[in-house]
Amino acid sequence: MHIQTHSDVIDACRFCFMCRHLDTTGNVSFREADTPRGRALVLDRIRMNPQQLANPDFINAMYQSTLSAACRKHCVSHYDEAGLVLQARHDIVEQNLAPDAVSQLVQSIEQQFAPKLIGEGQDVLILSTHEDAFEHQFLHLTGKTVQMLHVNDTGKTPFVLGFWDQAKQMAQQITSLIKKSGCMTVVTNSPAAFDALKNDYPKWGIDWDGITIEHSSTYLARLVDAGKVTLSTNDQSVYYIDSDYLRNYNDIVTEPRQLLEQSGYQLKPFGTNPEESYALGEAAMVMDQLYPRLVELMLDRFKNMMDQAMDRIVTASPYTLRILRGAGIDVMSLEEALLASPANV
């Protein structure tokens, strides 16, 4: 079984309680099963009794995880509990045990998968998984020539749902288009897409041949530092909500904040602590489609964490932005926040 690759994590987490306060699902479901300990206990049972993988309650516990990796980041030894859950989902899919809703979602992503290159610029390839490609406008400020690659998914969603073969096929198609573009820098403002290209693809044997993969926040931060982009001043105060994929998977914590500060925003700490994930299930990619009730509860928790006289919220995660906006919360994407600063409007 694939979970055996993470046996050290099962051994460490199954009797450990030390990060349960940061489990994004556990903090709203209040189930013991929705903590790293709870999931490791389940997987330990399965490790000892493989037939128990078919237990629908055990399968559900694996899919309910937001994979936010806040626990992994907190853990003194950084045991890869999120990685363990991914392996478990892989096992579930390989044994044809995936819930129907999960299989159908992956099917529809595959059906809509039609990546296409637009433009001819040779400096930078902008990879966009959603409509608003604000980086494009930033790049005009720098005089770079760009090409766009539109995709509905980088393979990240099938991957986190356990459909690794499908994910790898999508990755190969995207990689060949990127290479065909001739650009040696790929920038995306989707943290999930960034993580897929940066971390997942190389694990699947993809060699970038010197191509650099960047998230728009680090890319812009470099341009600003090099004096190529000037961000103007702004005196609003805002709360920055970290993306799980940026903070917990790639340690990108300072750059988005630095950009906002350089743009004149005063940053206020959101909630009561800097460790919890407030991204509302971003790393699970389709949490809102598979577990709408849990996302509703996460939103309730988010609202409880908001200060009374709330200033605006900024997030680098398009997923989190969509969920917050859908709930009527005043929120801007990182790019909107930076473009809204007077000199760039």
Partner 1 sequence: MILQTDNYHFEMIHSELKWAVGEENVRTDDADKLGHSIDYYWVPELWHDRNCPPQPPQIIVTPESAQDVAKVMKIANNYKIPVTPWGGGSGSQGGALPIYGGISLDTKKLNKIIEIDEKSLTITAETGCNMQQLEWATEKAGYSTMHFPASIACATLGGFLAHRGTGVLSTKYGKIEDMVMSLEMVTPEGEVINTLPVPRHASGPDLTQMFLGSEGTLGVMTKVTLKIHPIPECRKFHAFLFKDMTTAMAAGAEIMTSRLRPAVIRLYDTPETAKLIKKVLGIDREGSYLVFGFDGPEAMVDLEMAKACEICQKQEPEDLGTEMGQIWWDNRYKFFYPPYMFHMPQAFGTLDTVATFANIENVYWAMKKVVAENFPQATFIGHFSHWYEWGCMLYARFIIDDPPNDPHEATALYNKIWDMAIRAAMANGGVINEHHGVGLKLGRMMPELYGNAFDILKRIKKVMDPNNIMNPGKMGFGA
| Residue 33 touches which member of ligand SF4, partner 1, none, C-beta under 5-8 Å by kind | partner 1
| Closer by beta carbon to partner 1, 42 or else 102 | 42
Binding residues for partner 1 restricted to 268-297, rule: CB under 8 A: 272-273
| Residue 81 touches which member of ligand SF4, partner 1, none, C-beta under 5-8 Å by kind | ligand SF4
Told to check if 12 binds ligand SF4 by CB under 6 A, we report yes
CA 54 to chain centre: 28
- Can you tell me the distance from the alpha carbon of 289 to that of 277, in angstroms, rounded to the nearest whole number? 19
| Residue 71 touches which member of partner 1, ligand SF4, none, C-beta under 5-8 Å by kind | ligand SF4
The residue written with tokens 């650009």 in the block is 183
What count of other Cβ atoms lies within 10 Å of the Cβ of residue 85?
Answer: 28
- Can you tell me the distance from the alpha carbon of 306 to that of 5, in angstroms, rounded to the nearest whole number? 40
Shortest gap between Cβ of 81 and ligand SF4 (angstroms)? 5
**Binding window for ligand SF4 (CB under 6 A); candidates: 15-23, 25-33, 95-103, 242-250:** 15-23
In this structure, what is the dihedral angle of CA atoms 271, 276, 282, 285, given to the nearest 10 degrees? -150
In this structure, what is the dihedral angle of CA atoms 53, 56, 61, 62, given to the nearest 10 degrees? 50
| Closer by beta carbon to ligand SF4, 19 or else 59 | 19
Which residues form the interface with partner 1 (CB under 8 A)? 11-22, 30-33, 35, 37-38, 41-42, 44-45, 48-49, 55, 57-58, 60-61, 75-77, 79, 272-273
Which residues form the interface with ligand SF4 (CB under 6 A)? 12-13, 16, 18-19, 36-37, 71-72, 75, 79, 81
